[in-house]
């Protein structure tokens, strides 16, 4: 009897511990599943679909429409500027508090959208939404990292890719093309905030997560000063790039905008490599470069494709483009991310790149093989390998990466999205100016031609980024091997001082390791 009594409490404690861990993981999963779409849904700008109604409601002339479109495009620049600062805040303070603050700003922007009555107010609303989303995203990553679960990290990566692929088609369904003033009155403001429900669900999920996570050791170790410095490293370049992008959207030629987007890519890669040289911000599998690849090839490939499908559906008299191909691509992204949990990280990252490279190549062959890009077969041919590859590569690159490395990569993802958007929209505008279409069929042909030119650039970029990622991974492996050798030398020198006297290199290695660790190590 006494033996049973003594054995029962440990078993009960272990069972309760497992139940608490499962409950906390469920709360974290629900939080990520709602926060990610709520944040990424701020990126699409569908104001062009309701431009006639918006111009009538605001009393704008034809020459004032570019000012409105520039104002409503401020969400993405605001988002990419908020991410580095929010990453530092989420590491230094409570990530739940940071996430809740970001969601409140996002909800305030969504609520204010219904009251916008001028171009300036519309721009402020969109900037608030983007800033709130930029605060929420790094906080959600830290909350997932605190659970120290490889599967949850993979699901976060797959969910982010899924949101990037599905944001524009969902926005186009909620704000369809209005040929006249059918969306007049308050209807045009739906383009500023298509739906509040993802943000409301995210607030509820964060509150639920606070209740379910328990009192376990959920906080990550405090960040070092060097890590905080690396996290804000992309801030100034991102601010300059965002400023140029906003200015370029006003009066610059399509070629100049294309040049801005193209020049941003090597700058982002240089930042990724510079940050990867620091162990606090680097990762063994090139996380920062993979984030750039996912940003460049994810939304900028899927969003214009959704636009082509919507134009094709409108020309055929359909209500809108089908969401099914994009939903399947999102499911493929999550499946690819989960597959990375069991796979070897470096092989999984390279496999993901191969799949992402296959997507634009299949898109270039869609006219001859799948009956056109805008058809269901063409959409599936591009989107499925893109989603699976991006989810697989991103989740695998996060393996064995610290919170600082993941946050640093996230700070580079949305500048890559903006660079890709500048390039693809510039190319499509150039094709439209050259073709001067009269009918919808001619417009669709011109847009498709510009998009296919972008697919060629995307394929070349995928090859270059894969090579950079492989090189970054090799360098990280070399650094890890040297660090292990130094640690071994320090251990040997400490256990037997005679070895240090016989071989001074061991003492030098030990001293170098201590200097690299710094006074704040541990």
Please give the Cα distance from 188 to 178 (Å, whole number): 9
pLDDT in tens, the chain (522 residues): 444 444 455 667 566 556 666 777 777 888 888 999 999 999 999 998 888 888 888 888 777 788 888 899 999 999 999 999 999 999 888 888 899 999 999 999 999 999 988 999 999 999 999 999 999 999 999 999 888 888 999 999 999 999 999 999 999 999 887 654 444 445 788 899 988 999 999 999 888 887 776 655 556 666 777 777 788 888 888 888 888 888 877 678 888 889 999 999 999 999 998 877 665 556 778 899 999 999 999 999 999 999 999 888 887 777 777 899 999 999 999 999 999 999 899 999 999 999 999 999 999 998 777 778 888 889 999 999 999 999 999 999 998 888 888 999 999 999 999 999 999 999 999 999 888 887 888 888 899 999 999 999 999 999 999 999 988 777 766 665 565 566 665 666 665 555 444 444 444 444 433 333 333 333
Residue-level pLDDT at 495 = 59
* Residue 333, SS3 per DSSP: helix
Question: Any idea what DSSP says for residue 226?
Answer: H
Domains and CATH numbers, the chain: 18-151+170-179+188-215 (1.20.1250)
Residue-level pLDDT at 181 = 45
∠ CA 289-295-296, nearest 5°, is 90
DSSP letter string, 254-323: HHHHHHHHHHHHHHHHHHHHHHHTSTTT--TT-HHHHHHHHHHHSHHHHHHHHHHHHHHHHHTT-SS--S
**Dihedral angle over CA of 20, 26, 30, 32, nearest 10:** 90
Please give the Cα distance from 457 to 361 (Å, whole number): 10
∠ CA 467-468-473, nearest 5°, is 100
Residue with tokens 């995203």: 137
Residue-level pLDDT at 253 = 84
Residue-level pLDDT at 518 = 34
Contacts of 55 (CB under 8 A, 6+ apart): 61, 62, 64, 65, 68
Residue-level pLDDT at 165 = 97
pTM (predicted TM-score):
0.87
């Amino acid at each position: 009897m006494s033996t049973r009594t003594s054995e029962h409490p440990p078993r009960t404690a272990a069972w309760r511990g497992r139940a608490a861990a499962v409950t906390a993981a469920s709360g974290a999963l629900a939080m990520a599943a709602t926060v990610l779409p709520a944040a990424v849904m701020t990126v699409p700008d569908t104001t062009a679909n309701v431009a006639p109604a918006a111009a009538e409601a605001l009393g704008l002339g034809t020459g004032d429409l570019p000012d409105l479109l520039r104002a409503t495009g401020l969400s993405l620049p605001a988002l990419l500027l908020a991410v580095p600062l929010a990453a530092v805040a989420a590491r230094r303070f409570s990530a739940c508090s940071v996430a809740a603050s970001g969601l409140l700003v996002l909800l305030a922007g969504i609520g204010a959208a219904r009251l916008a009555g001028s171009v300036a107010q519309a721009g402020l609303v969109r900037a608030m939404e983007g800033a709130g989303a930029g605060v929420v995203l790094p906080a959600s990553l830290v909350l997932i990292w605190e659970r120290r679960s490889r599967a949850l990290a993979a699901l976060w990566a797959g969910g982010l890719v899924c949101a990037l692929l599905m944001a524009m088609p969902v926005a186009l369904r909620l704000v369809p093309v209005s040929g006249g003033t059918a969306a007049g009155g308050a209807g045009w403001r739906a383009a500023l905030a298509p739906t509040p429900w993802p943000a409301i669900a995210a607030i509820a999920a964060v509150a639920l997560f606070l209740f379910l996570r328990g009192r376990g050791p959920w906080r990550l170790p405090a960040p070092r000063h060097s890590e905080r410095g690396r996290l804000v490293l992309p801030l100034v370049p991102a601010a300059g790039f965002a400023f140029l992008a906003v200015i370029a959207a006003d009066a610059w030629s399509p070629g100049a905008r294309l040049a801005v987007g193209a020049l941003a890519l090597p700058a982002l890669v240089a930042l990724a490599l510079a940050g990867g040289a620091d162990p606090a911000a680097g990762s063994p599998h090139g996380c920062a470069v993979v984030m750039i690849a996912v940003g460049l090839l994810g939304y900028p490939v899927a969003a214009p494709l959704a636009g082509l499908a919507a134009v094709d559906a409108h020309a055929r008299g359909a209500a809108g483009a089908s969401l099914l191909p994009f939903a399947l691509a999102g499911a493929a992204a999550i499946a690819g991310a989960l597959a990375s949990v069991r796979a070897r990280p470096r092989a999984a990252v390279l496999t993901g790149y191969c799949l992402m490279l296959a997507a634009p190549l299949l898109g270039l062959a869609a006219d001859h093989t799948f009956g056109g890009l805008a058809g269901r077969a063409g959409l599936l041919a591009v989107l499925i390998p893109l989603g699976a590859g991006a989810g697989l590569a991103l989740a695998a690159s996060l393996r064995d990466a610290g919170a600082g490395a993941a946050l640093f990569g996230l700070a580079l993802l949305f500048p890559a999205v903006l660079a890709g958007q500048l390039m693809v929209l510039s190319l499509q505008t150039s094709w439209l100016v050259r073709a001067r279409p009269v009918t919808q069929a001619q417009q669709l042909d011109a847009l498709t031609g510009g998009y296919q030119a972008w697919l060629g650039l995307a394929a070349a970029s995928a090859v270059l980024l894969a090579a950079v990622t492989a090189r970054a991974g090799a360098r990280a492996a070399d650094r890890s091997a040297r660090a292990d050798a130094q640690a071994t030398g320090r251990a040997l020198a400490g256990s037997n001082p005679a070895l240090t006297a016989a071989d001074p290199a061991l003492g030098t290695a030990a001293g170098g390791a201590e200097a690299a660790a710094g006074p704040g190590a541990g």
